[in-house]
Structure 1
């Protein structure tokens, strides 16, 4: 590699022995690094689109319930208020005012449609972009790790098999977290759909309006399902009040999309998961490096940042190794510009260069306007084509 720097009016020859001797390996590695960098940007943009699909309207239920619990005069919990409405069809004046004045029938219907639309958009982005992008990233990192195991060829370039193994594990954790978000979205969509359907019918009865026959049918299983939903989502939590300034966390998807370092407010319940129980009881699989950690307390943003940091370290080390291998072999000052003539206009001073492969000579054509404005100088320098 021959570099010419016109501002310094000098000619520099760099020793790039490592690059020339490992040119095929550097080419393969750089192509893989390009794929990896592009996929990281692709995942970042996909997550940005997911955050845009998640709107603040999804938090309105939380804020309105918090305002209700702060303003109501009764000592009963919100969960008991809704359960009384579910079982007996009767509600307290405070709850009725909340439903009819703050939510309203039209507002409840609009809120339900907005939540379903936002959840569907996020779900499509996760399946079509986030999961496919992480799978492609896992593929390219696995190939780079395979290259690093060929130590004779790629170890001089700075590829570290152990670091790449950590990057693959980080991508696997990100993929697991994306799959966890899909499960939370699927469950939340079913829960909200059943809850809004029941609450919509209850509010129509409060207004003494006609209830469509298809909505008026509710089995004992449906009642039990809504009761479980109220018990899980509508219980007051003092810990949430201390951390977030509010009592409720009805909406569960937004916590995965917040770019915060804090743990999830409502992590998924894994008590009945037979696979996790099997892993905990197995001494061999519990600490197995073949299993990706899931980080159940962390958000999707947190796992993504962790993955990006690990991959960045893998890409940075080869850059440092190759950068240190490039050294200055020859430095020839061509001419010096006097300070008094720095602003003097010059017709031509940028050198041009070409290689004579037959005679293995490197030619540089330049001029020195301050010395001889009408002369052009030719510099010939012998070069090693292998370096």
Structure 2
């Protein structure tokens, strides 16, 4: 067989992991710098996905079935789902445990087209408006209305293995729907050593297969859970809702970040100047001085010095324009993007509340009560309206205040008051008097512990307190004269009604937002318990026991043969360069059939040039062929070789043995000139193969050189005519 190189790359950084996509000509490479690079055959225009922070490493990657999304797990407990076309992080969350491995499920269950109407049920809502300016910190989404987290290939799960020996499942990688605490299931003591090597789910979601090592014992577990299959439509709908809500949460966070950026420039200079002035004054004198100037037109000596020396007309105009622009920006962000996001959340939570009334489908999944999420969303909506009122009031008061100061300073400087200064009406005087009267509420005395010196801070601004995660320091707008407030306080039935959302006057906007997010996530977190408790351990099968197993690096590979109720799950477990296990799980049994695959008797090999063979890496090429990266030692010469072994022949021979027997198959019997190829001048370390794309990639032992080959399997090859069970093939490498 001939092999021709189609790609060769010398990577500047060490590569730790490689994975082919099965539907596109793409290979993902994980560098030791935490960067994930996605390349095509010719290495042109690679997609680079940078880590979220510096010095963060990648623990594991996995392509989703539709391969528009790649899951990336980092060593800071973070999992990102990344759209490979836009390089945008679709969903990001922490699993609150160190991740060792992630993988997506292969599924055989699709969602009925009639059920998919939920994807369009939010068409009544206007799309979230674009946030115009760009946030400087990090890469943000360009489309928050997208449902790219959803896969049209059917329901699937992201399986996450953590080093605390828990295995977690996330629908579409988004919604957590149960976990398995393997330590608890096996009654493991703290002194025991337990390591989860692999975890896979069957294509119909009913079974979980786990490979583990405990105190030198290699074993497999089978868990069964019928709830995932029975409730798969309800779970699918909840995951769609949850994904949409998470998108809106992220949109809210970005909007509030914009509001913070606009707010940071509001009155900063003015507050610093007033703080400097307040430091020299007694408490209560600032309001009195400004009110005296308003009423009598004559300032105190201190105030006159401040206005004529610290403030200038030019500075005042510049400051007035800056404040007006900042408040205008904040107002636009609150009135449109933030309000639109809250309305969208309110719609989805109302929808969830309605779904919850279907007790058979959703009550056990969502818990007993969904009204708390609805109430907290209503309170958040009320708080956003309150913030709008504060912004309107602040804009009005500051415009009057700056205009009055402009006139006052001009008169003190004996300058002519320009005609464009305007006339302050009596109503505006009343607003200004109230504004000046409340000045002392903005004065704060901070005592430094080391020196004991007092520092006076002065803050005229009212909006900033709504953007902190603490109670409001200055009371909100007084609504005691509001007719609705009078009716509400006079009727106890209204105060206890669940139809009226409470107005928490002391809470900030951020507090109400956090409360809303927590109540909604608590609603979905019920799934963790309701689904997780359904996992029942059906079998704990011990494969082997050896002290070497605990210290060895175990490599696994998995594939599902068939996409129906009778699908067979196949595992390979590479224990060492000499020992390979093949596990076959049939659909009607909980105990696997196991075979040891070893290179034992070289005399039975049909290839004369073969020396002592040993395993480097093993992967399933497809359900019919098992690919191997092999080391060939002939005297002092060491070669790297590539083989393809027919899985069907191994399984057929394994059927002759009962489940209690673990036969040893001599791998020399399964190779010949047709499925054995030497990779000249190359020392291999790792392999990635894809049967659907007919490609293979080999990583050199220095972890920097990658060689790509395109494999074309010829099933009609008659290389082994004497044995029809041997699915032989020919490999041709094409440019």
Shorter-normalised TM range: 0.7 to 0.9
SS class of match (2:556): coil
Q: Which has the higher strand share?
A: 2
The corresponding residue for 2:324 is: 116
Pick one of 367, 370, 374 that aligns with 1:160.
367
Could you tell me which of 235, 241, 264 is aligned with 2:473?
264
Correspondence for 1:192 among 394, 398, 401: 398
Distance in 2 (CA, whole Å) between partners of 1:246 and 1:124 is: 33
CA shift, 1:314, in A, is 1.1
Pair 1:203-2:415 in alignment: no
In 2, the alpha carbon distance for the partners of 1:239 and 1:216 equals 30
Per the alignment, residue 256 of structure 2 pairs with: 47
Provide closer, same or farther for how the CA distance between residues 47 and 238 of structure 1 changes in structure 2, counting only shifts above 3 A: closer
State the SS of the aligned residue for 1:382: coil
CA contact (8 A) 1:240 1:265 kept: no
Pick from 526, 537, 545 the counterpart of residue 317 of structure 1.
526
What's the CA shift string for 1:81-102, capped at 9, x where partnerless?
A: 2233234332222111111222
Structure 2, unpaired ranges of 5+: 1-200, 203-207, 448-453, 590-735
Q: Distance in 1 between matches of 2:543 and 2:499?
A: 60
What is the CA–CA distance in structure 1 between the aligned matches of 2:260 and 2:459, rounded to whole Å?
Answer: 18
- Match for 2:247 among 27, 38, 47? 38
Change in CA separation of 1:336 and 1:356 when aligned onto 2, cut-off 3 Å: farther
Distance 2:571 2:300 in 1: 93
Q: Does 1:25 align with 2:247?
A: no
2:345 aligned partner: 137
Indicate the larger mover: 296-305 or 355-364: 355-364
The one of 379, 391, 394 equivalent to 1:173 is 379
Query: Residues of 2 paired with 1:101 and 1:61: CA distance?
Result: 14
Q: Does 1:99 align with 2:307?
A: yes
Counterpart Cα distance in 2 of 1:249 and 1:341:
63
Partner of 2:586: 381
Q: TM-score, normalised to structure 1's length?
A: 0.84
Residue in 1 aligned with 2:512?
303
Distance 2:303 2:426 in 1: 24
Distance (whole Å) between structure 1 residues aligned to residue 455 and residue 482 of structure 2: 32
Q: In the superposition, relative to structure 1, how do residues 272 and 63 fare at CA in structure 2: closer, same or farther (>3 Å)?
A: farther
- Secondary structure of 2:415's partner? coil
How far apart in 1 are the matches of 2:401 and 2:512?
A: 31
Structure 2: distance between partners of 1:138 and 1:113? 36
- Alpha-carbon offset, residue 66 of structure 1: 4.6
Aligned to 2:497: 288
Whether the aligned pair in 2 keeps the contact of 1:167 and 1:310 (CA below 8 Å) is yes
CA distance in 2, matches of 1:286, 1:17: 45
**Conserved 8 A contact 1:15-1:329:** yes
Take 1:237 and 1:60, find their aligned partners in 2: how far apart are those partners? 19
SS in 1 for 2:533: helix
Residues 378 and 269 (structure 1), Cα distance of their counterparts in 2 relative to 1, 3 Å cut: closer
Q: Deviations over 1:315-370 (max 9, x none)?
A: 211122112212332333444565289558x9xx6344333468925252536666
- Within 1, Cα distance between the matches of 2:497 and 2:211? 57
Determine if contact 2:441/2:474 at 8 Å carries over to the other structure.
Answer: no
Cα offsets for 1:215-248 (capped at 9, x unmatched): 15344444344333323x33x3599558997585
Partner of 1:278: 487
Q: Structure 1 residue 264: deviation in Å?
A: 2.9
Q: Distance in 1 between matches of 2:245 and 2:422?
A: 54
Partner residue in 2 for 1:77: 285
**Which of residues 415, 423, 447 is equivalent to 1:217?**
423
Structure 1 range deviating more: 33-42 or 7-16 = 7-16
Do the aligned residues in 2 keep the contact of 1:149 with 1:161 (CA within 8 Å)? no
- 8 Å Cα contact 2:266/2:461 also seen in 1: no
1:266 deviation in Å? Answer: 3.1
Distance (whole Å) between structure 1 residues aligned to residue 309 and residue 259 of structure 2: 32
The alignment's C-alpha RMSD in Å is 3.3
Compare 245-254 and 100-109 and name the one that shifted more. 245-254
Cα distance in 1 for partners of 2:284, 2:577 equals 96
More helix, by proportion:
1
Residue of structure 1 equivalent to 2:99? none
1:288/1:4 CA distance change after superposition, 3 Å: closer
Question: Aligned residue pairs: how many?
Answer: 374
Question: How far apart are residue 63 of structure 1 and its match?
Answer: 4.8
1:325 is paired with a residue whose SS is coil
In structure 1, what is the Cα distance between the partners aligned to 2:550 and 2:345? Answer: 55
Q: TM-score of the superposition, structure 2-length normalised?
A: 0.46
